[in-house]
Structure 1
């Protein structure tokens, strides 16, 4: 009987020692995992792109080097229009596909991260940090070739972009169809307003301007099921009534075509952009990104 008791006590002690060792191992492993996760989270800068399919753009260009919230480093907002190889479409704002791809590849090669409109808004007005090398890729008008030609290149290079759409022009011929606009939005391309009828706002009364802005915003939001927060002025024209109407219509940002960077000294309804035409080379893109001064 005593032998059985001693044997049982030895067995219990052995079980306790094994249990203590196992608990110790679990605790050590947990500490190591927790510490590594802490380091990863500490070093990682997360930028939400609101991309419906969950992808993060320009991930290979992002770094821990950010523009501080209280800094006022301007952000280049590049403005494109039509991307086409059609020989009949001769205009300074029509850029061949290969040339457009070279422009975007230059942006990527120089280490720039393409922001969403929400990220730009948060940086300029909500003191949120962004990568030091940040840029907005934008398009005016919503041409059909933005979908057929530009979109595949944006996907290939994994870049964010913003298209300012004329909401009553979605005819499927010169301009995109509503379904194409919706597809772009669902993918993660920002769809914003270029007014309802592309009327030169500075020639209109306040009430007419407000209607142009509000009707565009309402129709686009109904189409894509997302807030429309930014407006690009047709031909860059505006007046004092425009600035008031933009705010009253519910927009957060208004973009001109006045050459310069968008920065915190700009009025939120008079943000600068840089129009890109077919003459630009990769070296010109670099100058625009890094050397342009107001």
Structure 2
């Protein structure tokens, strides 16, 4: 009995120990499995973050600042960008029926080659400093090749004006081309056969002062050509000043006077005798031929003795030296139809004679008249001739 009872006690204790071991083992397994899951999750997370195909979520960023579009250059700015000349000035043109591209001019120099627009049924009335001046055709504010270029920030705008053929015809302008020759500082003149050719420099100074102060318009040769065509309006109060031969007295005495008064003039140069450049910006140099200021076989100038081809070849040589064509002054004033043919063949548009008269609409461009200035003519005499 006692033995059986002890065995039963021992048996119960063994079952109890076994159950306790099983509980402990189960808890341990659960702990191990849980820990393994955590480690596995961490490992997977690390693997996902470092793998080649992993993509991190984009970080929040500020909105990008837009890049402003570059403002395109104006035609005038484009023109200025094409030159390194610090004195370059872009001249722009505006006005009714005006479609002219800007051109480069040189600050301080005289305007060169300003366009002369043409339009059916209209007459161009010139370029002006402002729109108001253009509307009023203010002669004092009209701008052409006798004016120096003046610009602000390397740009200037000229305003075009128009008038009608009827207004142009009613103006009935007669343009005088003054013809001077030699000059003298002697009030009594020079005592030789060419005395009438010599203008006293005191009279010349007074005459240029009168032109400069009296509001005369000084047309360029291309303007005179367009005027003859009836395509350009010139005011009656206009005058062109010229000198024949480019004599030494012109260079020493007269040229400084026209520079002083800023009166644009034309010196007709015999290029066989002179090849130096202009004495100052207000003196344009044009042709008095290369070697035709000589008498031909009949005692008249070579210009009426040579063939058209010979005349053209001579004028071509002269034009190459001067860098200009436009107009030629006929030596001794001699010309004929062969002369005209040779002049046109050489690319010259106009020829100036020594015949007295005024240039009007329709004048023969190869037979331009002039107003001869002789020794002893005063400023009053000049005023009587040109207004």
Per the normalisation by structure 1, the TM-score is 0.69
Q: CA deviation at 1:244?
A: 0.9
Q: Which 5+ residue runs of structure 2 have no aligned equivalent? A: 1-129, 151-160, 295-300
Flag the structure with larger Rg. Answer: 2
CA distance in structure 2 between the partners assigned to 1:208 and 1:98 by the alignment: 41
Partner of 2:145: 49
CA distance in structure 1 between the partners assigned to 2:185 and 2:322 by the alignment: 29
CA distance in structure 1 between the partners assigned to 2:134 and 2:380 by the alignment: 36
Partner of 1:257: 354
Asked if 2 retains the 8 angstrom alpha-carbon contact of 1:116 and 1:190, the reply is: no
CA distance in structure 1 between the partners assigned to 2:288 and 2:131 by the alignment: 44
Question: 1:265 and 1:121, CA in 2 relative to 1: closer, same or farther beyond 3 A?
Answer: closer
- Mapped pair 1:218 → 2:320: yes
Q: CA deviation at 1:110?
A: 4.7
Q: CA deviation at 1:195?
A: 0.4
CA distance in structure 2 between the partners assigned to 1:69 and 1:239 by the alignment: 31
Aligned with residue 178 of structure 1, among 238, 262, 276: 276
Alignment of 1:87-98 (within 5 A): 90=192, 91-98=195-202
CA distance in structure 1 between the partners assigned to 2:220 and 2:133 by the alignment: 24
Aligned with residue 310 of structure 2, among 208, 225, 228: 208
After superposition, give the CA deviation of every residue in 1:97-124 in whole Å (9 maximum; x if it has no partner).
Answer: 1121122233345542232223322322
Q: CA deviation at 1:262?
A: 1.2
Aligned residues: 229
Asked if 1 retains the 8 angstrom alpha-carbon contact of 2:263 and 2:282, the reply is: no
- Mapped pair 1:74 → 2:171: no
Q: CA deviation at 1:202?
A: 1.1
CA distance in structure 2 between the partners assigned to 1:47 and 1:123 by the alignment: 16
After superposition, give the CA deviation of every residue in 1:218-238 in whole Å (9 maximum; x if it has no partner).
Answer: 2211xxxxx321000001001
Partner of 1:104: 208
Partner of 2:110: none
After superposition, give the CA deviation of every residue in 1:19-78 in whole Å (9 maximum; x if it has no partner).
Answer: xxxxxxxxxxxxxxxxxx653553455332165x527xxxxxxxx9x9954454210100
Does the residue aligned with 1:149 lie in a helix, a strand or coil? helix
Partner of 1:39: 132
Asked if 1 retains the 8 angstrom alpha-carbon contact of 2:146 and 2:263, the reply is: no
Larger RCO (alpha carbons 8 Å, 6+ apart):
1
Asked if 2 retains the 8 angstrom alpha-carbon contact of 1:261 and 1:272, the reply is: yes
Which one has the bigger helix percentage? Answer: 1
Partner of 2:242: 138
Calculate the aligned-residue CA RMSD, in Å: 2.6
